[in-house]
A and B are shown apart, each in its own frame.
Chain A
Amino acid sequence: DAGITQSPRHKVTETGTPVTLRCHQTENHRYMYWYRQDPGHGLRLIHYSYGVKDTDKGEVSDGYSVSRSKTEDFLLTLESATSSQTSVYFCAISESNPRDPGSYEQYFGPGTRLTVT
């Protein structure tokens, strides 16, 4: 998985609790992305990062926040988890600037399966 790890790999949590997912890369790619994958939908972009402390919203950002204090780490936080946030979350890294995300390949992590009960 191209030097990308995600933790935890599986998590079950209760509605209303905060949850933080971590993405760690060893490839020194500048740009990082968080997606969610749900049955019946293609991957959908939640947030992305241009670099340290430089992030922006994707198409499904409501209820999520992100932080990037180091090049190698990109954190996704569900401020107050809801059942609609039950999903598989993927982190991706790339040399593609988010302004042209298709210019280079995106490399995906192994995913985190989150269940909100």
Chain B
Amino acid sequence: KNQVEQSPQSLIILEGKNCTLQCNYTVSPFSNLRWYKQDTGRGPVSLTIMTFSENTKSNGRYTATLDADTKQSSLHITASQLSDSASYICVVSALNNQGGKLIFGQGTELSVKP
């Protein structure tokens, strides 16, 4: 069964600190993996996308990594800001010759405190 599991479910950190969010997936055949940021009361917005051959992708203070062998991805946030408070969603795309689908994780709720 295609699944995407994220950990932790929630996280509280102090402003300025770094943090790492985890995403484990059992999706086959794998096409790509995206991290989305969802602010409270808003729709998700894409941060990064990685394909099978990419190990790391950065977007400002956000750095995503992908280990396709262990089927794990992480999102590292450097020097956190209050505006980083949001839910972060890992989305894996599966694709075969019959079509594709997106499998969404449940998200990690990050709270950055002053």
Contact = CB atoms under 8 A, between A and B. Distances in A.
Interface of A: 1, 4, 40-45, 90, 92, 98-103, 105-111
A102 B94 CA distance: 8
State the majority secondary structure of interface residues on B. strand
Contacts of A40: 106
10 contacts: A1-B43, A40-B106, A42-B105, A43-B44, A99-B100, A100-B99, A103-B100, A105-B46, A106-B46, A109-B43
A102 B4 CA distance: 15
B22 interface: no
Contact of A111 (B41, B45, B92): B41
Contacts of B91: 42, 102
Q: How large is the interface on B (under 10, 10 to 19, 20 to 34, 35 or more residues)?
A: 20 to 34
Contact of B41 (A99, A100, A110): A110
| Interface-central residue, A40, A90, A100, by most chain B CB under 10 Å | A100
A60 to B, nearest CB: 12
